[in-house]
Structure 1
Amino acid sequence: MATGGVTLKSLPSELPLDFLNKITKNFSKDLQLREDASESVYMGILDGGEVVVVKKLAENSPVPCEKKFANEVQNIMGLEHENIVKMVAYCREPNNKLVQINERYITAEITDTLLCHEYLPQGSLDKNLFGESSIIDWGTRFKIIKGICKGVHFLHTLPRPILHLGLKPQNILLDVNMAPKIADFGFSRIFGIDHTRKITRSVVGSVGYMAPEYLYSGEISARSDIYSLGLIIMEISTREKNSSDQKHARKYVDGVKENWTMEKIMSEYTLLEEQGLNQVQACIDIALQCVEIDQDKRPSIDYILNRLKALPKNAEVDHSR
């Protein structure tokens, strides 16, 4: 593939590995954004200086890369929404490589699997909420909460609804204006519109953010995402990280329920006036409803959005942490 003059808008949906090698400088450590057990993530720089994110899926990932690739490409390629990360291209290319088996090296066909999506310069919500230099005022936090909820609403109300099943602050990316975009659909499922609940034997996700019925029984529904959403709203509103060592985060939830009274909110958000304080209180209340153990007691995404829209919009901006 010729690279001269290639722009983000002109990228074809399927890319050769040679092209991705070129724009990442052979997957240079200097361009690496992060690495974990399931993938290595790089910046890819196009000829005109535009940046794209290149995710190289690991062959020995806890979630098979074929499944993650299928989820990402089939579920979100082509989706357009201001609060969903745009998938722009992919690569799935077999290559002969030397692999070691029982102290012997043999040539085997290994398929390189890569995904490309738009680059969000502010990075993850997790980094911005809990990083060393994180200072986000309440007005921005409230905007982020509403944006995430709009993204979830879009996914859940598609003609063939999509359940994310991996919502957490690390999978929410922020653009230059601090607008949130939901990313990483590796665990996602397309949910038949005639289904309300489903049992799966493959329980994968993020410990601390998984709904208890999914974690312990493999039962998934739209309310599984609502549970995870509640924990994210809770973290954004309280500025306290869900660091519970329990898989279902009940210790963290119980602490918020007990401690975050209006008196606590006023002491933490000292510069907010009444309307802003009421916004914080309402968001914490919504979050606590979302993390009810009984999933039938959790609100729908429609209810959450309508309640957020009904809150006063002209809150005083709080510049304190």
Structure 2
Amino acid sequence: MATSSGGGTTEESQQSVLSTLPSELPLDFLKSITDQFSQERILGTGAFGTVYKGTLPGGEIIAVKKLSENSPLPRERAFTNEVTNIMAVKHKNVVRLVGYCHEGLKKVVQNNGRYIVADIVESLLCYEYLPRGNLQSNLFEIRTKMNWDTRFNIIKGICEGIHFIHSISVVHMDLKPQNILLDDNLEPKIADFGLSRFFGQEKTRMNTQTVVGSYGYMAPEYIYRGEISTKSDIYSLGILIIETTTGEKNFCGNEPSAKRFVENVRTNWRGQRMLSEYPSLEADGLQQVTLCIEIGLQCVDIDRQKRPSIETILDKLNGRHPN
């Protein structure tokens, strides 16, 4: 958030004003701060709904996500996942959920050729606003190429965020560049917990009959057997690390797995390729690039037991090399 001059609002005071916002917000209030959810206010649209730019009465900006009725997961469940799993979370690498709305209203709708009055529940989620957008657009859609130091810090920040959410027994289940938001300092924040799962203290793995996620980022054991564990996130993290390091997009077409993308990186990303992509990097930087490629490829091992833990990944990224 910007700092205004002439005795204006600082980032710290903006955050303190935001902290006074009630957790549960009325629908009319969210309509008013988004100009009735106008097209001009749209920040982005995803599988779970549309995100609008909301301007609070004091001038602060928040992001308001209006959940879609046609999302890949029932709207009620996606809403509950987000509110339950991240409302109380405070970590610099996890997006802050500042409020929500879950309000019933009566609407006149058509049903079998007749108009009827139906009870409709609107579900909305409000987040801190991050003006730099998501990692997807910054990596693949903006002409200015990110330097290596920025990419490496983003990778480390994502790993710190995953370490935290795993420590509170939450598995994200939809890690991809679109769900990594960047603040003004390009600090990454993990967003969109609509598919997340909470594990009890004694539980480390679960199964589901409903496999929902993003092609190219889902772990094979989840795609084919419905198995969910923290290692599901580690697989997705591996793809994220590889994309951020190489600047190459994981195009998997209609295939749910990233097999072709991974094999292409494994085959082609060696010494000469790294030098051509990062010609100005010195030896230390090239070692970091090599390390990130190695970690990414370990994370996407078909055998989930062979994937490293998030603790091991952080140790390696921070120069601590566990046995």
TM-score interval, smaller chain: over 0.9
CA distance in 2, matches of 1:83, 1:121: 15
- Distance in 2 (CA, whole Å) between partners of 1:307 and 1:215 is 29
Is it true that 1:230 corresponds to 2:238 in the alignment?
Answer: yes
Shift of 1:193: 2.5
Distance 2:309 2:204 in 1: 12
Query: Does residue 17 in structure 1 map to residue 34 in structure 2?
Result: no
Of 295, 305, 308, which residue of structure 2 is paired with 1:299? 308
The residue number in structure 2 matching 1:117 is 127
| Separation in 2, partners of 1:182, 1:101 | 40
1:36 deviation in Å?
3.8
Name the count of aligned residue pairs: 306
Q: Is 2:263 the partner of 1:254?
A: yes
Determine the C-alpha separation between the residues in 2 that align with 1:183 and 1:206.
14
> Corresponding residue for 1:198?
206
Query: CA–CA distance in 2 between the matches of 1:214 and 1:180?
Result: 26
Structure 2: gaps (5+ residues):
1-13
CA distance in 2, matches of 1:36, 1:241: 18
Over residues 50-85 of structure 1, what are the superposed CA-to-partner deviations in whole Å (9 max), with x where a residue is unaligned? Answer: 100100011232211100010000010011000000
1:35-61 CA distance string (max 9 Å, x none): 244311101001121100100011232
CA contact (8 A) 1:89 1:115 kept: yes
TM-score (norm 1): 0.93
Q: Give the CA deviation at 1:28.
A: 1.0
How do residues 204-223 of structure 1 correspond to structure 2 at under 5 angstroms? Answer: 204-223=212-231
1:187 aligns with 2:195: yes
- Per-residue deviation, 1:183: 0.2
Distance 1:39 1:22 in 2: 19
Greater mean alpha carbon deviation, residues 117-126 or residues 103-112: 103-112
Compute the displacement of 1:133 (Å): 2.4
- Is 1:266 matched up with 2:237? no
| Match of residue 3 from structure 2 | none
Task: Normalising by structure 2, report the TM-score.
Answer: 0.92
- 1:128 corresponding residue in structure 2: 138
1:316 equivalent in structure 2: none
Q: Percent identity over the alignment?
A: 55
Question: Is contact 1:90–1:115 with CA below 8 Å preserved after alignment?
Answer: yes
Tell me the residue number matched to 1:168.
176
CA RMSD of aligned residues (A): 1.5
In the TM superposition, 1:58-97 aligns within 5 A as 58-97=68-107
What residue number does 2:118 align with?
108
Cα distance in structure 1, aligned partners of 2:115 and 2:72 = 24
| Distance (Å, rounded) in 2 between the aligned partners of 1:176 and 1:42 | 19
What is aligned with 1:319? Answer: none
Compared with structure 1, are the counterparts of its residues 168 and 269 closer, same or farther at alpha carbon in structure 2 (3 Å cutoff)?
Answer: same
Secondary structure (helix, strand or coil) at the match of 2:138 reads: helix
What is the CA distance between 1:134 and its match in structure 2?
4.1
Q: Secondary structure at the match of 1:181?
A: strand
Gaps of 5+ in 1: 313-321
State the secondary structure of the residue aligned to 2:318: helix
Whether 1:242 aligns to 2:250 is yes
SS in 2 for 1:310: coil
Give the conservation status (yes or no) of the 8 Å contact 1:44–1:52: yes
In structure 2, the residue matched to 1:317 is none
SS at structure 1 position matched to 2:119:
strand
